[in-house]
Structure 1
Amino acid sequence: MTKLIIQIPCLNEAEVLPETLAKLPRSLPGIDIIEYLIIDDGSTDDTSGIARRWGVHHIVRHRRNRGLAEAFRNGVEKCLAEGADIIVNTDADGQYAGEDIATIVAPVVAGEADIVIGDRSVAENAHFSPFKRALQRLGSYVVRTLSSTDITDAVSGFRAMTRDAVQRINITTEFSYTTDMLIQAGRKRLAIKSVPIRTNSATRPSRLFKSIPRFIMSQGMTITRAYTTFNALRVFTLLGAALTLVGLLPMARFVWFFVNGQGDGHIQSLVIGGALLTVGVLVATLGILADLIATNRKLMEASILKLRRMDEKLEAIEKAQKETEVSLEGIETAPERRKAF
């Protein structure tokens, strides 16, 4: 029995949520059970009430707004707890076509991918401004390069994931999970596939960020942090080497003047060069320490994955025991019922 849970992070989406829910699929090839989950991220309207009245199976509610990354993280945790084999994440504002859920789920059902990203064809998408198209293409190129993947729309939130893939990824950012997740998935060598999807025009401005500069800064910090986490030795070694090379320049200048008998007036070059060399060595040393920490993180993630799977096995055993107890109680009470009859 393959179970799919479609999760939708929401913030004050009471007006548009009914239309979004109405377009979600009720059945899909290769899927036996489809359920819906709403993450109400501190809405001040009736988002949760609308979800309940529309028969949404699971609702996760935050008392105050915690951000998209936390909403996504809590949503997938709930999906895993409810036994989802496949998880689809989509938006409540209707940007993504509900009919395309079948498109992004198909490669997962076929066993061709662990994660499928809905590609909005940013370069030709008429719903995006020229500046946004250029910005999205640049950002996707950076993430594609750093994650060693072939994803053309890195920030698309429309994606399908296997249970195993979700269990292997630990979102640490507080801004947006999209790029962090891709860099982790790429570095953990998960099978990632991109498929073209349709999009609708925006019904309202984005609530993820208030301005383009703030979005660029937040995404840049997220990408840098995620990449450094998995490539600490490379990042710090390159930075240390760059500082060392810069430090050699003023020192070479001092040596030149010293050889020509003019060293007394250029001692500051020696001081600056020595300081930069020292900083470069310290940064490279930090890289070694950061790499050891990254190795420890890998061991911890492997342990967390084992614990998650052990918990699932224990829950399955407890469920089977309860079902057995109920069956035995029914057998024991059957003769008594016949006597009473």
Structure 2
Amino acid sequence: MTNYTNIKETERPGLLGPRSTGIVAVIPAFNEERFIASVVFTTLQFADKVIVVDDGSSDRTASLAEKAGAMVVRQPLNMGKAQALNAGFKAARRLENVAVVVCLDGDAQHDARDIPAVVAPVLAEEADVVIGSRFLDIKSDIPAWRQVGQHTLTTVTNIASGVHTTDSQSGFRAFSPAAVEALHFTSTDLSVESEMQFLFRPAGLRVVEAPVNVQYLDGNKRNPMIHGLQVLDALLSLVARRRPLMFFSLPGLVSTLIGLLLSVYLVHTMMVSGNLPVGLAVLVAFLVSGGITVGVTGIVLHSMHKFAERVDQDVRQSLSIYLERVTN
């Protein structure tokens, strides 16, 4: 994966002028009245349009975002970041002449001055997705416990998705129009960034990273340990859905092989001593039967997942053809 580390902050490849929508920023936000106005204001210095998706906030997030100059998309309920991004992408698709869509969080942790560096590879047509990595060139004061947790989640995501990044959980990302069209998120939990990584390769999207700074102004909204475990749980559930062969069949195969090897030792022991080691026999039966069951489960889930992907692709293709006919 290419890493973009030599782009100066003063370079501004965006702001393509009044004739083009150019750079569109999508900011999902839930109860971010403390920061959202300043986030929108600073983002507008580096983007031609800002879309704030108010994810069912109970505070003044939406009104403050509008006053700061953003286009606001309102979700009736708190539906989660994945659905907020879907809504933001949908709004971006309706705009004309969009060159790149860049996503930031609404809590001011991302520095809008990094937008030019993040969108540059997309504008240069060298990438479809750019991930703003906090760990390519660490200049920010990131707590050690956060680094350990993020690296753990990134390692699991990299292994499971087959796509290598240094920061799988970064919400600071840029997308080409092709990527915006191709990506649709189904997560209902905290794993949307990891879900993206599973979608990049099947969609044929080129992915690079660019270094970004980060600041944590709002402290910890949640207990960091509990939040980390929740994200890990969501990630493992995602792996089970997206990679059932890896999550089920591979461990099942290992379990079966260990059981078969132990069965050889079991038979040898019986022949030598004339007695049946009951404990070992139970363990062998458990490993072999359990391994076969889990392995077959993975194969069945894999087949179901592939079938669902084909159905989804056919439905999207049919819908696209229908909409094209209607508009023409």
* TM-score, with length taken from structure 1: 0.79
Which amino acid counterpart does residue 163 of structure 2 have in structure 1? T
Corresponding residue of 1:221:
233
Unaligned runs of 5+ in 1: 29-33, 318-341
Relative distance call for 1:95 and 1:268 in structure 2 (3 A) is closer
Which amino acid counterpart does residue 184 of structure 1 have in structure 2? L
Corresponding residue of 1:335:
none
Larger RCO: 1 or 2 (CA < 8 Å, sep 6+): 2
2:252 pairs with 1:240: yes
- Kindly, what percent of the aligned residue pairs are identical? 23
Which amino acid counterpart does residue 81 of structure 2 have in structure 1? L
Superimposed CA distance per residue, residues 241-260 of structure 1 (whole angstroms, 9 cap, x where no aligned partner)? 12213433553343133202
Corresponding residue of 1:290:
301
Of residues 28, 33, 56 in structure 2, which corresponds to 1:9?
28
For 2:57 and 2:42, how far apart are their aligned partners in 1?
Answer: 22
Larger mean CA deviation between 290-299 and 73-82 belongs to 73-82
2:52 pairs with 1:41: no
Relative distance call for 1:99 and 1:310 in structure 2 (3 A) is farther
Relative distance call for 1:219 and 1:187 in structure 2 (3 A) is farther
SS of 1:172's equivalent?
coil
Of residues 234, 249, 262 in structure 1, which corresponds to 2:274?
262
Which amino acid counterpart does residue 238 of structure 2 have in structure 1? A
Contact persistence 1:168–1:301 (CA under 8 A) = no
For 2:240 and 2:199, how far apart are their aligned partners in 1?
Answer: 11
Which amino acid counterpart does residue 274 of structure 1 have in structure 2? A
For 2:227 and 2:278, how far apart are their aligned partners in 1?
Answer: 45
Could you say what the CA RMSD is over the residues aligned between the two structures, in angstroms?
2.6
Of residues 156, 179, 186 in structure 1, which corresponds to 2:194?
179
Greater Rg, structure 1 or structure 2? 1
2:211 pairs with 1:196: yes
Of residues 205, 211, 236 in structure 1, which corresponds to 2:223?
211
Corresponding residue of 1:56:
70
* TM-score, with length taken from structure 2: 0.82
For 1:311 and 1:98, how far apart are their aligned partners in 2?
Answer: 39
For 1:178 and 1:259, how far apart are their aligned partners in 2?
Answer: 56
Corresponding residue of 1:22:
41
Alpha-carbon offset, residue 53 of structure 1? 2.2
Corresponding residue of 1:306:
317
Superimposed CA distance per residue, residues 250-274 of structure 1 (whole angstroms, 9 cap, x where no aligned partner)? 53343133202432x5245334422
Relative distance call for 1:188 and 1:71 in structure 2 (3 A) is same
For 1:56 and 1:300, how far apart are their aligned partners in 2?
Answer: 37
For 2:303 and 2:149, how far apart are their aligned partners in 1?
Answer: 35
For 2:22 and 2:185, how far apart are their aligned partners in 1?
Answer: 23
Larger mean CA deviation between 303-312 and 8-17 belongs to 303-312
Normalized per residue, the structure richer in helix is: 1
Alpha-carbon offset, residue 195 of structure 1? 0.7
Of residues 112, 121, 125 in structure 1, which corresponds to 2:126?
112
For 1:133 and 1:62, how far apart are their aligned partners in 2?
Answer: 32
SS of 1:277's equivalent?
helix
Relative distance call for 1:290 and 1:14 in structure 2 (3 A) is same
| Number of aligned residues | 307
Superimposed CA distance per residue, residues 139-159 of structure 1 (whole angstroms, 9 cap, x where no aligned partner)? 323323333334211111011
For 2:177 and 2:316, how far apart are their aligned partners in 1?
Answer: 11
Corresponding residue of 1:131:
145
Unaligned runs of 5+ in 2: 1-19
